[in-house]
Amino acid sequence: MHIPTRTTVAILLGLVVVSACRVPAGRTADRPHKAVFILLDGIPADVIERVNTPALDEIAAAGGYTRAYVGGERGGPTETPTVSAPGYMSLITGTWANKHNVRGNSNQSPNYNYWNVFRIVESADASRQTAIFSTWLDNRTVLLGEGLAAAGNLTLDHAVDGFEKDTIAYPHDKESRYIRTIDDRVTTEAAAYITMKGPDLSWVYLQHTDDMGHAHGDSDTFFASVREADARVGRIWEAVKQRQALGEQWMIVVTTDHGRDELTGKNHGRQSTRERTTWIVTNSGELDARFTNGTPAIVDIAPSILQHLRIAVPDAVAQEMDGVSFLRQGFPAARRVRN
């Protein structure tokens, strides 16, 4: 699919800055390490493997693609609903629902004693710049708990979200066209900000694919939304490549939060193999055998990002993480749950 060429003045200005500030290739030890993770909602592994996704393919060619899993241990204490918010929380904390305590998309009561990746980064080095670009406001205000004492009084340096609350600019419709429009806005702003500012850690969340899955199940309409999501990833990937031209060391991770039911593809939330089977794409060239030959979990993403960022995680936090870095020389002490 052709990646849209729509740009903003901000992106163009950023490209001028990038072109003017190129540094020679060579030494890597002193180059800034930065990361962005993108969550495309509700795309099973078999669909991402079936649909044409040139942007994801290009990222995977630089690093790798693997099937992954969500849902914790079937029938065990870590079993986690294959629902969006529990998936997001598992990603950002590296823990399952028995710890982070998010089991649905509403009326959440997160256990902030299990630190999220942004809190870890900000606590380790307050000079690190953080950003979120999200089609769902609760990702920042509830799951990350921005500004809450219980969540460590975390404050992100830049936030682009909350558009779904603006029913004037984005009038709601049953076909979720407004969510599609918001996804485009979020993507445009993420690409512009990454190009210009290069924050150390960013989260991009895009929702439209899940809406199309719920409405249409396994269908051409759902598959078309996946191709559109891939094009949005491509715009962010182009921004990352512009930053890499400055000599920065970037890790991009793209994943999903759950699969879909095997019968229609419209539902999720249980523990069927298809609902549990997800995927991870990254450009990292430091992948270990657990990624290339195994099946990592969504909880492994946060430890991997932290390793790439060269962040020292406090022992008390690291010991509670269920995930293990899938980069070489990863975090050996954290326990992980087998699929």
CB atoms < 10 A from the CB of 245, how many? Answer: 15
CB atoms < 10 A from the CB of 312, how many? Answer: 11
Query: For residue 170, how far is the Cα from the chain centroid?
Result: 24
Residues in the chain: 339
> What is the dihedral sign for C-alpha 168, 84, 298, 231?
negative
Are the C-beta atoms of residues 183 and 208 closer than 8 Å to each other?
yes
Q: What is the pLDDT tens value at each position of the chain, 339 positions in all? A: 333 333 343 433 344 333 333 433 333 456 799 999 999 999 999 999 999 999 999 999 999 999 999 999 999 999 999 999 999 999 999 999 999 999 999 999 999 999 999 999 999 999 999 999 999 999 999 999 999 999 999 999 999 999 999 999 999 999 999 999 999 999 999 999 999 999 999 999 999 999 999 999 999 999 999 999 999 999 999 999 999 999 999 999 999 999 999 999 999 999 999 999 999 999 999 999 999 999 999 999 999 999 999 999 999 999 999 999 999 984 433 333 444
Radius of gyration of the chain, Cα coordinates, nearest whole angstrom: 19
Residue 283: the pLDDT is 98
Q: Which CATH architecture has domain 37-318?
A: 3-Layer(aba) Sandwich (3.40)
Are the C-beta atoms of residues 191 and 12 closer than 8 Å to each other?
no
Task: Give the helix, strand, coil percentages of the chain, each rounded to 5.
Answer: 40, 15, 45
In the chain, what's the furthest Cα-to-Cα distance?
Answer: 56
Q: Letter for the amino acid at 293?
A: N
pLDDT in tens, 80-117: 999 999 999 999 999 999 999 999 999 999 999 999 99
What does residue 73 show for φ and ψ, rounded to 5 degrees? Answer: -95, 120
DSSP codes joined into one string, 269-299 = -S--HHHHEEEEEE--S-B-HHHHTS--BGG
Angle at 46 between CA 43 and CA 48, to 5 degrees: 50
Residue 31: the pLDDT is 77
d(CA 309, CA 33): 5
d(CA 46, CA 259): 9
Strand partners of residue 64: 282
Residue 30: the pLDDT is 64
